[in-house]
Homo-oligomer: A and B are copies of this chain.
Amino acid sequence: MKKTIAVLQGDGVGKEVTAGAVNVLKVIADRFDHEFHFEYGLIGGEAIDQQGVPLPDETITLCKNSDAILLGAVGGEKWNSIPRHLRPEQGLLKIRKELDVYANLRPVTVQGALADSSPLKREYVEGVDCMIVRELTGGLYFGRPSERVERDGEEAVVDTLFYKRSEIERILRSAFEMAQKRNGRVTSVDKANVLESSRLWREVAEEVAKDYEDVKLEHMLVDAAAMQLIRNPKYFDVLVTENLFGDILSDEASMLAGSLGMLPSASLSSDGASIYEPVHGSAPDIAGQNKANPIAAILSAAMLLRHSFDLHQEADKIEDAVERVLAQGYRTPDIADGEESVSTDKMVDVIIEAIQAP
Contacts of A141 in B (CB 8 A): 194
Report whether B247 and A223 are in contact in the complex, using a CB–CB cutoff of 8 Å: yes
- A87 interface hit (Cβ, 8 Å): yes
* Chain B residues with CB under 8 A of A216: none
Whole-angstrom CA separation of A119 from B163 in the bound complex: 36
What is the CA–CA distance of A140 and B165 in the complex, to the nearest angstrom?
A: 20
A113 within 8 A of B: no
Q: Do B165 and A155 touch (CB < 8 A)?
A: yes
Taking the full assembly, how many copies of this chain does it contain? 2
Out of B93, B121, B156, B224, which one reaches A119, CB within 8 Å?
B121
Count of residues in A whose CB is under 8 Å from the partner chain: 55
The A172-216 residues at the B interface (CB cut-off 8 A) are 191, 193-197, 199-200
Which of A21-29, A45-53, A58-66, A142-150 is found at the contact surface with chain B?
A142-150
Identify which of A5-13, A248-256, A336-344, A345-353 touches chain B: A248-256
Dominant secondary structure at the A interface:
helix
- State whether B222 touches A248 (Cβ < 8 A): yes
Question: Are the C-beta atoms of B140 and A194 separated by less than 8 Å?
Answer: yes
Stretch from A225-233, A266-274, A306-314, A323-331 contacting the other chain:
A225-233
Q: Do A87 and B161 have beta carbons less than 8 Å apart? A: no
User: Would you call A140 and B161 a contact (CB within 8 A)?
Assistant: yes
Across-interface contacts of A156 in B (CB, < 8 A): 162-165
Residue in B147, B194, B245, B249 whose beta carbon sits within 8 Å of that of A196 in the complex: B147
Nearest CB of B to A264, in Å: 17
Beyond A191-B247, A223-B248, A227-B255, 10 additional pairs, beta carbon < 8 A? A140-B195, A151-B164, A152-B164, A155-B165, A157-B197, A194-B244, A224-B251, A226-B248, A226-B249, A252-B252
Nearest first, the 4 closest Cβ-Cβ pairs linking A and B are A230-B255, A226-B252, A223-B251, A159-B161
A residues near B (Cβ < 8 Å) are: 84, 87, 89, 93, 119-121, 124, 140-141, 143, 146-148, 151-152, 154-166, 191, 193-197, 199-200, 222-224, 226-227, 229-231, 244-245, 247-249, 251-252, 254-256
